[in-house]
């Protein structure tokens, strides 16, 4: 059956698109609005972008977010790579291991964040980057794990055997065959983890300390003082960075195939 | 026997997969010696353990019992990268991220050869399979036959003592397969390498091999030259599997006599006890149309092949019989003929 031929499919599809993207489009448009009231359009202006670039707390929050996302992306990708390689062959309890790895996808984040906060306070970890980085690594693991795992499962097992047959030991086989073939998956996993960390509010909110505010946390606290066009501008920049990253990694993945 | 060690010796090798109830025995007590520079073929139906035996030699699977020697040296405990054999995989397994030239140079680069020497030997190997012109391509940009050649060049480049080939031609169309068969044989003679070749195509095995091991259910049923296997099959299964053959069921009726189920009595089966059920086998080209022959038959189908005529006959009990005769011997369909079964062409298997 051809779904596109069903009555109203096109209309419903358009409706869903509008529903999904109208808020984002409005936000982007108003970030270029000269008027201070975020709901009244007067004329085009880049003022708010100039303002946020000059604002030291925003610059600090941006820097914190990028450092945190990079650390969470690298850390979770390395762990996910190890986990994917470790669960390649069958063993008892493999299903359980994979379920535990993917648990952050379904566990309520607020519960995990509060639990982590209590643990860190109990063992004396200082709130801030030192607390946020390990917590972000943990919940980013499944996002890095899934693309790597998919790539590994799709790999022809005789390629590694062929390398060993041609006198490559395990390390050389990994470096010259497995890793290059996994590369698109690793990149996709890193990007997803990076973007997920960049976007996180809850965990950062609980675990950030003075001087380690991230952008989402900054936006949240700023918004309590009222919605301003600055927030629209920051949000637009975050959106562009995230989309650009995902698109780049997607294109790169296609190129390598 | 000469004193030089065989290229490969497989001694009482057994192998099972799985555990407990799910355990399957794939190879049972397999022994074989393969000579230096021999073109040796493992032939058998799907699932008989050919690939498993090859993988044991290459080192991708571990033995349950027995041992394997390459060039007189035990290799049971050596990983694949320490064994002086190379494999041409059924799926070719070319590295998709490397060019043809890089694929072929892969093993050479790991051998601490100078760069120029790597390039020279990779080029040589590619020339050997006439793929020099496509050295800069990626495997995905090659046809099946071209990939097959690259896989061959890649395995030959490090000059292994033994080349293991797992149905390397099965993905090719008939015409290309025939061409590659000839090339393989020439290549083997030129390079002076021992080939262990896996196929389930009996014609391919007969054409290429110095010796064939016919396998079934994890055992080697018969080991011999193509001629021995074709002319003196040791088992009913081998007779049936190799080439075309007529299998006639019957019962030993007296000393050296067999009463076939179609009614005819023939001289055969000496050494079998009276009353025993037997199968009498004869190749289509060894049976002859002769007036007064022992089998009565009706012609059901005639195919003129130019060099010969293939006749489908129906025996008195309704059973089929295939006969190959000179090209000008053309009986009419529906006509009655008599067939002689020369006793030196008969083979008798206990049922
Ligand atoms: N890793 C494995 N685990 C379990 N069973 C296996 C494994 N490898 C092979 N087998 C079984 O062993 C038997 C022999 O397999 P093998 O691949 O050696 O057959 P083959 O003779 O090469 O057949 P084909 O002509 O189809 O390639 C088959 O029944 C197969 O299912
Ligand atoms: Mg096989």
| CATH value at residue B50 | 3.40.50.300
- CA nearest neighbour of B233 among B202, B198, B275: B202
Residues B187 and B255 in one domain: no
Quick: pLDDT tens for B223-271.
999 999 999 999 999 999 998 999 999 999 887 889 999 888 888 877 7
Q: Are residues B156 and B305 in the same domain?
A: no
Q: Give residue-wise pLDDT tens across range A84-138.
A: 999 888 888 888 988 888 888 889 999 999 999 999 999 999 999 999 999 999 9
Is residue B281 within 8 A of residue B245, CB to CB? The reply is yes
pLDDT digits over B98-127, tens only? Answer: 999 999 999 999 988 899 999 999 999 998
Taking CB atoms within 8 Å and a gap of at least 24, the contacts of A80-89 are A80/A141, A80/A142, A80/A144, A80/A145, A80/A148, A80/A149, A80/A189, A80/A193, A81/A144, A81/A148, A81/A182, A81/A186, A81/A189, A83/A141, A83/A145, A84/A145, A84/A148, A84/A149, A84/A152, A85/A152, A85/A178, A87/A149, A88/A152
Chain B residues whose CB is inside 8 A of the A91 CB are none
Q: Is the CB of residue A256 less than 8 Å away from at least one CB of chain B? A: yes
Same domain? B146 vs B130: yes
The verdict on B139 and B61 lying in the same domain is yes
Domain count across chain B? 2
Interval B164-169 mean pLDDT: 92
| Residue B1, in any domain of the structure | no
Q: Quick check: CB of B15 below 6 Å from ligand 1?
A: no
Residue from B47, B87, B200 to probe ligand 1 pocket by mutation (most atoms less than 8 Å from CB): B47
Within a domain: residue B25?
yes
Q: Which of B239, B269, B301 is the last residue in one of the domains?
A: B239
What pLDDT does residue B112 have?
85
Separation CA B203–CA B206 (nearest Å): 5
B62 part of a folded domain: yes
Interface of A with B in 42-81 (CB under 8 A): none
Verify whether ligand 1 is closer than 6 Å to residue B55 (CB atom). no
Task: Domain ranges for chain A, please list them.
Answer: 53-254
B248 and B288, same domain (yes or no)? yes
User: What does DSSP say about strands B39-43 and B24-34: parallel, antiparallel, or unpaired?
Assistant: unpaired
Q: Which domain holds residue B314?
A: 244-350
Query: Are B143 and B254 members of one domain?
Result: no
- B171 and B291 co-located in one domain: no
pLDDT classification of B174: cutoffs 50, 70, 90: confident
Q: Do B109 and B23 belong to one domain? A: yes
Instruction: Compute the distance between CA of residue B286 and CA of residue A213 in angstroms, rounded to an integer.
Output: 93
Final residue belonging to a domain, choices B239, B259, B291:
B239
Quick one: fold of A53-254?
Answer: MetI-like fold (1.10.3720)
Both B218 and B127 in one domain: the answer is yes
Any atom of ligand 1 within 6 Å of the Cβ of B52: yes
Cα of A98 to ligand 1 centre, how many Å? Answer: 29
Domain final residue pick, B187, B220, B239 = B239
pTM to 2 decimal places: 0.82
CA distance B310 to chain A (A): 44
**CB atoms B154 and A167 under 8 Å:** no
CATH number for position B255: 2.40.50.140
- For residue A231, the model assigns a pLDDT of 87
User: Among the atoms of ligand 1, which is closest to the Cα of residue B48?
Assistant: 21
């Amino acid at each position: 059956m051809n779904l596109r031929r069903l009555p109203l499919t096109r209309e419903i599809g358009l409706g869903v698109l509008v529903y999904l993207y109208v808020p984002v489009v409005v936000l982007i448009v108003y970030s270029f609005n000269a008027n201070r009231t975020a709901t009244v359009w007067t004329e085009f202006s880049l003022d708010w972008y100039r303002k946020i670039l000059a604002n030291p707390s925003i610059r600090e929050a941006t820097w914190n977010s990028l450092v945190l996302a990079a650390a969470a992306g690298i850390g979770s990708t390395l762990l996910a790579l190890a986990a994917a390689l470790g669960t390649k062959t069958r063993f008892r309890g493999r299903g359980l291991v994979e379920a535990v790895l993917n648990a952050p996808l379904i566990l309520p984040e607020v519960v995990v964040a509060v639990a982590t906060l209590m643990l860190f306070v109990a063992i004396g970890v200082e709130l801030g980057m030192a607390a946020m980085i390990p917590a972000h690594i943990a919940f980013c693991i499944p996002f890095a794990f899934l693309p790597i795992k998919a790539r590994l499962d799709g790999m022809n097992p005789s390629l590694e055997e062929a390398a060993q047959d041609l006198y490559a030991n395990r390390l050389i086989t990994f470096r010259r065959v497995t890793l290059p073939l996994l590369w698109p998956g690793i990149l996709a996993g890193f990007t997803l983890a990076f973007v997920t960390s960049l976007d996180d509010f809850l965990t950062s909110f609980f675990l950030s300390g003075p001087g380690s505010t991230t952008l989402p946390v900054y936006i949240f606290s700023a918004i309590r003082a009222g919605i301003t066009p600055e927030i629209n501008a920051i949000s637009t920049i975050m959106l562009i960075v995230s989309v650009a990253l995902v698109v780049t990694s997607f294109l790169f993945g296609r190129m390598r195939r | 026997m000469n004193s030089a060690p065989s290229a490969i010796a497989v001694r009482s090798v057994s192998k099972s997969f799985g555990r407990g109830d799910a355990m399957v025995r794939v190879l049972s007590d397999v022994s074989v010696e393969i000579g230096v520079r021999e073109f040796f073929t493992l032939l058998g139906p799907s699932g008989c353990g050919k690939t498993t035996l090859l993988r044991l030699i290459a080192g991708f699977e571990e033995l349950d019992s027995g041992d394997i020697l390459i060039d007189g040296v035990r290799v049971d405990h050596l990983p694949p990268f320490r064994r002086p054999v190379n494999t041409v995989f059924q799926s070719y397994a070319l590295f998709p991220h490397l060019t043809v030239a890089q694929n072929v140079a892969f093993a050479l680069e790991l051998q601490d050869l100078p760069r120029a020497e790597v390039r020279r030997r990779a080029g040589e190997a590619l020339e050997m399979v006439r793929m020099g012109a496509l050295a800069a391509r990626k495997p995905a940009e090659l046809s099946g036959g071209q990939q097959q050649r690259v896989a061959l060049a890649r395995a030959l480049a490090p000059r292994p003592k033994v080349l293991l080939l797992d149905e390397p031609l099965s993905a090719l169309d008939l015409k290309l397969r025939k061409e590659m068969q000839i090339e393989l044989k020439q290549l083997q003679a030129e390079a002076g390498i021992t080939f262990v070749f896996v196929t389930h195509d009996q014609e391919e095995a007969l054409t290429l091999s110095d010796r064939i091991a016919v396998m079934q259910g994890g055992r080697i049923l018969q080991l011999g030259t193509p001629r021995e296997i074709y002319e003196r099959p040791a088992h009913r299964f081998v007779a049936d599997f190799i080439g075309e053959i007529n299998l006639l069921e019957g019962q030993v009726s007296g000393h050296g006599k067999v009463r076939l189920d179609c009614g005819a009595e023939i001289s055969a089966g000496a050494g079998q006890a009276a009353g025993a059920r037997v199968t009498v086998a004869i190749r289509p080209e060894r049976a002859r149309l002769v007036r007064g022959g022992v089998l009565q038959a009706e012609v059901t189908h005639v195919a003129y092949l130019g060099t010969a005529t293939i006749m489908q006959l129906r025996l008195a009990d309704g059973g089929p019989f295939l006969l190959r005769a000179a090209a000008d011997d053309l009986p009419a369909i529906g006509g009655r003929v008599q067939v002689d079964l020369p006793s030196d062409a008969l083979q008798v298997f206990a049922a």
